[in-house]
Amino acid sequence: MKKKLGISFTKTNFQNYWNWFNDEDLGEDLELVLLSFENPDPDLMKSCAGYVLTGGIDIDPIFYQGDLVYPNQPDLYQPERDRFESAIYRWGKESKKPILAICRGMQLVHVEEGGKLIQDLGDQNRRHKKDTEEDKQHGVIVQEGSRLFKWTGLIHGSVNSAHHQALDPDSVADQWQISAVDETGIIEAIEWKNRQDHPFLIAVQWHPERMINRGENPLSQYIKEHFLQSIRQVS
């Protein structure tokens, strides 16, 4: 029986996440399954051996006691999605299954651990917020000693960017290690400190699934490779 890799549904650019995992990646032992807040299936969710929490619209600020009015907020939130993906995270963490959280997903797992968000980056939006068809591009600094550094061998790297919110650095839970920041200090990646407590719990603010050069960029390709390796090791 194939192991299931669950990808949470987003109404924006979902196919990019699905297409990131090609036939060669999946081989004969893995298959993709859709986990959608529009038709939640707890049994399917619990049957997965790993999870991708995808990007999308802002998390409803009621989930982290944020300001209800702020610049660049969406017209509508998706609280049902927030609740469903929070359940995915809690189950995946409790059962020690690999979790890769991307962009909004990174903000969600941070909020689930009691964190707050910078609700709009203001002037920094010129650097991070997507305002055309193309993602922004900027550099990141990878922290030595992190798993991200071990996998990629990079101290300095380049990533794409399409966000206007970020993690509040003063509210990052002790269990998280900040593993990458941009040149101005914006948090770009976090990972679970206790590697025995959880084998793969990584979150990135960029979009590895849609980088232009994702097959050659270690901050996309090596993350994917180690994620899939970790899923294959789940008993």
202: helix, strand or coil: strand
Helix (H) or strand (E) holding 152: helix 147-152
End-to-end CA distance of the chain: 13
The residue from 85, 188, 191, 209 that is catalytic is: 209
Q: Of the residues 103, 112, 164, 226, which is catalytic?
A: 103
Residue 48 annotated in active site: no
Q: Supply the angle between the helices 79-94 and 104-112 in degrees, to the nearest 10.
A: 70
One-letter amino acid of 210: R
**3-state secondary structure at position 39:** coil
Nearest to 57 by CA among 35, 37, 32: 37
**Is 209 an annotated catalytic residue?**
yes
Catalytic, out of 128, 164, 207, 226: 207
DSSP-assigned states of every residue in 55-121: --SPPPGGGTT--SS-TT--SS--HHHHHHHHHHHHHHHHTT--EEEETHHHHHHHHHTT--EES--
Active site residues per annotation = 103, 207, 209
